[in-house]
Chain A
Amino acid sequence: MRTVALITALIGLVLTIVPSLFVFLGDVSWGDHAQLMFIGMILWFIFAPIGMKKKEKKGVGS
């Protein structure tokens, strides 16, 4: 389950960054890029907490 969530979260990150490269190259419109980034954001915030969940040790900071 964690692996699936992690892969889905990573797809979210890919959707965040890759479309902008195509906007720069002129292959994707700004509107599509903004929509894909939105979907990427949703995927990341739903699946990253599940994927990154592990038995917490005491944190670094104080």
Chain B
Amino acid sequence: MITERLDALYEFDREPVSKDNLHGIGKFIGMYAGEHVAGTEFVIGALFVARGVSAPDLFLGLLVGNILAVLSWAFLCAPIAVKTRLTLYWMLRKICGPYLTFIYNIVNALMFCFLAGAMISVAATAVGLPLNMPMPELQDMFPASITWIIVVFCVGFVVTSLAILGFEKFANFAKICSPWMFLVFVAAALAVLPKLGLTSFGDFWSVANEKIWTGIPVEGQSKFTFWHVMFFAWFCNMAMHIGMADLSILRYARKWTYGFTSAFGMFLGHYVAWICSGILCAAADVTVAPGPIAFMGAGIAGAVCVVIAGWTTANPTLYRAGLALQAASPNWKRWKVTAAAGLGTTIAACFPALVMRLLDFVALYGLILMPMGAIILADFWILPKLGLRRNFAEVTGSKINWSAGISWLVTLVVAFLLPLEIFFKGLPGFFIALVLYVILSSIEQRKKHKKILSEEF
């Protein structure tokens, strides 16, 4: 049975974390700082420049958005994590039942595949440098050359092979890369500042306004304002904080306040690194391809950094996708599933649109998974206050919690119908999911399961 196989995959972390396995604050600082200096950072900062963000909008938008992201980790995700000490998978299993959890896992895996595909493209822009490969342009949707396809397939092959071989050793390698990668971002940006006419720090603000974040979008790109930047910075990791995926990490925290350590990831990766990649993009006449701009700033070390950044992001992502998809493929071994996922991911990576529309994709990724976080939040805090049961699927032994399923689906339908840009749909979507789940749970629990309620209370 599919759900039993899925349970078996997560069996090792089925129990709440015991007290002797909790970690100190240093682990979380290191983990967040490392995780958010990744391949995506090379692209996102550059895409902000292409979208014509002005310098004040960028600096202020990132400041406010990142603070809101940190607060979301600290006040929404961390308190539930330290109270339950369960992974997202087992929280969903208790609340939503095995069927809905299975669907969530598959959706998550597909999203992971696309994210890994974008990172393979990022790495390919650096690998193709010695071959004088034509780089994908901002408006490109389809592969520009055969060389590009060959390079993408080579990178995809390496990433998939490593994902098949296992995750643990590679995760350790990624930890070693993080401090160096962050410094490469900063060093590359510093080294290209003279190309923008900046020779003293005192002139930074005027050069930033006139030559980097000019407020004028590239032709064909919609303009980004303060609100776009703020909401993007807040919601680009929506699946992790409001969507509760980081329950799996923060359940090891001694105190809920460790949620604030996400600030190290946000302000090193999503502030400094994005600013640096924006500077690099502007110095390269608004070129977005990460390989050439990193090489321009830091030479071979920059190109290697792009390969490693793309690689360290794509590899665990593909590994996790393979694990999740394994449950849906009867009698297939993990390596076969990962190989199939890797092939699909590599084909997707051939299309530059995946990287060039990364801002939209990241926003979509968060939006699709976010309603489950709202459901967990409502289930944990609100339902007991209304005299309703938490973890209804577990209590009733049902395979699916229809209140949760309908809330997820309706939230997404309404969110997509809202006449707003994708970056702004997450906030109303969160409240829709929250309210809908409470109302539907109330109806379902009171009417259909009166008997259970009377036994329990």
Contact = CB atoms under 8 A, between A and B. Distances in A.
Given A37-B184, A61-B31, A23 B194 contact: yes
A40 B298 CA distance: 11
Contact of B193 (A24, A48, A52): A24
A52 B147 CA distance: 39
A16 B184 contact: yes
Contact of A44 (B13, B31, B180, B194): B180
B248 A20 contact: no
B191 A16 contact: no
Contact of B187 (A16, A45, A59): A16
Q: Which range contains the number of A residues in contact with the other chain?
A: 20 to 34
B208 interface: no
B150 interface: no
Nearest to B188: A20
B2 interface: no
A7 interface: no
Nearest to B190: A20
Contacts of B168: 59
Contact of A52 (B28, B176, B184, B199): B176
Nearest to A43: B180
A61 B184 contact: no
Given A16-B180, A20-B191, A62-B248, A38 B299 contact: yes
Task: Rank and list the top 8 A-B pairs by shortest CB-CB distance, nearest first.
Answer: A34-B299, A20-B187, A37-B301, A20-B190, A20-B191, A23-B191, A41-B301, A17-B183
Interface of B: 12-13, 21, 23, 27-28, 31, 87, 168, 171, 175-176, 179-180, 183-184, 186-188, 190-191, 193-194, 198-199, 248-249, 252, 298-302, 304
Given A19-B187, A48-B176, A62-B248, 17 more contacts: A12-B180, A13-B179, A13-B180, A16-B180, A16-B184, A20-B187, A20-B298, A23-B190, A23-B191, A24-B193, A30-B191, A33-B299, A34-B298, A37-B184, A37-B299, A37-B300, A61-B248
